[in-house]
Amino acid sequence: MAGTSTSSGPAAVPGSAGPRQNLALAGMLFAVSMTFIDQTIVSIAAPDITSELGLSASGMQWVVNAYLLSLAAFFALGGRLSDLFGHRRIMLLGTVLFVVSSVLCGCVPDDSFAQAWLIVFRATQGLGAALMFPAALAVVIAVFPVERRGRALALFFGVSGALTALGPLLGGWLTQWTWRAIFWVNVPVAVVAIVLTVLARIPESRRRERLDVVGAVLVAAGMALSVLGFQQAAAWGWSSVATWACIVGGLAVLVLFFFYERRTAHPLINFDVFRDRAFTVDNLVLFFAMLAFVPVFFFASVYAQVSLSASANQAALYLLYFFLGFGIASQWGGRILDRRGARPAMKIGCALGAVGFYLWAEKLTDLSMHDQWPYAAMAGAGIGFLLAPASTDAVNRSIGASYGEVTGITQTVRNYAAAIGMAVLGTILTHVSTDRITTTLEQRGLPPAEAEATARHVAEAVTGHPDGQAPTGDSPVAKALQGAGDAIRMDFAEANQWVFYAMAIALAVAFLCALAHPGTRVTKEQPAPQD
C-alpha cells in the first residue's frame, strides 16, 4: 500500500517512555471499558426501560441491537481513520461521540419519540465505540515495543474483557436508582480517559492517503445487513425470507467489497496481509473462539436465572467464576507470547477452553452453582490464554505498521463471530428447550398441540425473543406450568448443555486452526511503506 507515514515523535523515548506508556495504557483502558460494559449493561435495565417508556418488545430489542449492529458495521472504518488521521485523535473523537451519545440516551424524553430517540443514539454510541476501540488498541501497540507488547496487551484485553462481567452487576445496582444512570455513568469514565490520554503525551502519526469512501460504504452495508440477519433470526425465524435476504445479501456485498478493494489504489483494507499464514491463522482462532466468548455472557446468565433461580446480581457473580480463570490466564498468555510466540499460547488456550466448556456443560444439570466453578474458570482460562496472543500476533504482522487498519480487521472478525454465535446458539437453545418442555407438559396431561405452543412461549420468553405471553391464571395450562417448575428448570439446563457443547466444539476447531500457525515470531517493528 503506497503512502507515507509522518510522526510527531518516537513511540518510545529512552528514560521517559515508562511513565508515558503506563498513562497511555491506563487512558486506553478507561476508554474501552465503556464499550465493554455497554455490551451487557442495557440488557439488565431492559424491563425498566420498556415499562417506563412504553416500548414494544421488538423496539427494546432494537435498542440493544442498534449498538451492536453499528459497532460491527464501522469497526473497519474506525481502524482506517485511525491510520489516516492519527490514533490519539480518532480515539478522542470516538470517546467524545460515545459519551455524548450516552448522555443523550439517558435524557430520552418520555413520549412517542422515545423509541426512535434511543435507537438512534444507541447507534451513534456504537459508531463512537467503533472509532474508539481500534484507535485505542493501536495506541497501546504503537507505544509499547514488540518485546513488551504481549504483556501490555494481555493486561489490556484481560481488564477490558473482565469489565464485560461488570455490566450486569453495575446495571442491577444503578437501575435501583434510575435506569438512566446506566448511560450517565459513562461521563466520569470518559473524563478520566481523556485526561490520562492528554497527560500521556502520546506521539501522533498519520498516513497520507485518501480515504476509500466506496469501500467504507460497502463494508458497512455488508456487515450491517449480514449481522442484522443473524440478530433477527430468532425473531423472524430461520425459514424467513427476510432472514436469508439479509444474510445472503450482506455476504454478497462483502464479496463485492473484496473485489473492489483488490482494484483500488488506496483500499480501506489491504488484503495482502492475509498472505501471511500466521495472520490468517490468528484471525481464524479469534473467529472460532469468539463464537463462544461473547455469547457465554448471555447464555450463562440466562441459565443461572432460569435453572438456578438466581437473581440478576447473583447471575453476574456466577459469571465471575469464568472471569477468575480468564483474568489470571490472560497474563500468562501475554508472557508466553513475549517469550515463545503466539502458537504455544493459542494451543494451550484452545485445548483448555474446549475441555473446560465440555466439563462445564456436563455439570449444568447438577443445578448447583458452586459445583461448576472449576469448569467455568477452566473455560475462562482457555479464552484468556489465547485472546491477547492471537490479537497481538495478528497486529504485529500488520503491513507497514498499519496498526489501526489491522486492529479494525481483527475486531471486525471478533464482532462478526459473536453475532453468528449469538444467533446460532440462541436458535439451538430455543429449539431444544421447546422440545424438552413440550415432552414435560405432555407427561402432565396437556394435549400435544397445546403443550408445544406453551413450550414455545416459555422457551422464547427466557431466551429473550418472546412472540407472545405464556398462559397465566387458573387455566389448566397455567396449572401445568406451575406444577412442572422443577422439571422445566431441568429441561432448560439440558438445553443449555447443547449450547455449551457447541462452544466446546468451537474451541476444538480453533485448536485445529492453531496447529497450522507456522510458529514464527515478530521480533521487530514492521517497516512503514514508502512512496
Residues 64 and 43 sit within 8 Å (Cβ to Cβ)? yes
The answer as to whether 398 is a domain residue is no
The answer as to whether 501 is a domain residue is no
At 381 the pLDDT is 95
Do residues 49 and 193 both lie within one domain?
A: yes
At 104 the pLDDT is 95
The answer as to whether 242 is a domain residue is yes
Q: State how many domains the chain has.
A: 3
DSSP character at residue 207: E
The answer as to whether 400 is a domain residue is no
The answer as to whether 50 is a domain residue is yes
At 168 the pLDDT is 65
Do residues 202 and 79 both lie within one domain?
A: yes
Do residues 173 and 32 both lie within one domain?
A: yes
CA dihedral (511, 382, 464, 232) positive or negative: negative
Do residues 200 and 221 both lie within one domain?
A: no
Cell 462452544 appears where? 503
Do residues 242 and 108 both lie within one domain?
A: no
Do residues 223 and 249 both lie within one domain?
A: yes
Do residues 180 and 102 both lie within one domain?
A: yes
Radius of gyration of the chain (CA): 23
Residue 131 is part of a domain; what is its CATH number?
1.20.1250.20
Range of the domain at 70: 16-147+164-209
The answer as to whether 279 is a domain residue is no
At 504 the pLDDT is 98
Whole-number Cα distances in Å, 341 to 149, 334, 396, 521: 12, 9, 11, 5
Do residues 124 and 192 both lie within one domain?
A: yes
Cell 464501522 appears where? 74
Do residues 217 and 190 both lie within one domain?
A: no
The answer as to whether 4 is a domain residue is no
Whole-number Cα distances in Å, 525 to 103, 149, 398, 401: 40, 11, 9, 7
At 58 the pLDDT is 66
0.75 exceeded by pTM: yes
At 400 the pLDDT is 59
**pLDDT (tens digit, 0 to 9) for every residue of the chain, 531 residues total?**
334 444 433 344 333 444 478 889 999 989 988 887 777 677 667 777 887 888 776 677 788 778 888 888 888 889 889 888 988 999 999 999 999 999 999 999 887 788 899 999 999 999 999 999 989 988 888 888 877 777 787 788 777 766 666 666 777 677 778 889 889 989 999 999 999 999 988 877 777 778 889 999 999 899 889 888 887 887 788 889 999 999 999 999 999 999 999 998 888 888 888 888 999 999 999 999 999 987 888 788 788 878 888 876 777 778 888 988 988 898 888 888 888 889 999 999 999 999 999 999 999 999 888 889 999 999 999 999 998 899 888 888 876 557 777 888 888 888 888 888 888 888 888 888 888 888 888 887 778 887 788 777 776 666 554 443 434 444 444 444 455 667 888 988 999 999 999 999 999 999 999 999 998 876 665 554 443
What's the CA gap between 175 and 181, in Å, rounded? 7
The answer as to whether 348 is a domain residue is no
Do residues 114 and 62 both lie within one domain?
A: yes
* 267, 283, 308 - which closes a domain: 267
Q: Pick the closest to residue 189 from 129, 131, 231, 247 (CA basis).
A: 129
Do residues 439 and 467 both lie within one domain?
A: yes
Do residues 248 and 173 both lie within one domain?
A: no
Residues 54 and 183 sit within 8 Å (Cβ to Cβ)? no
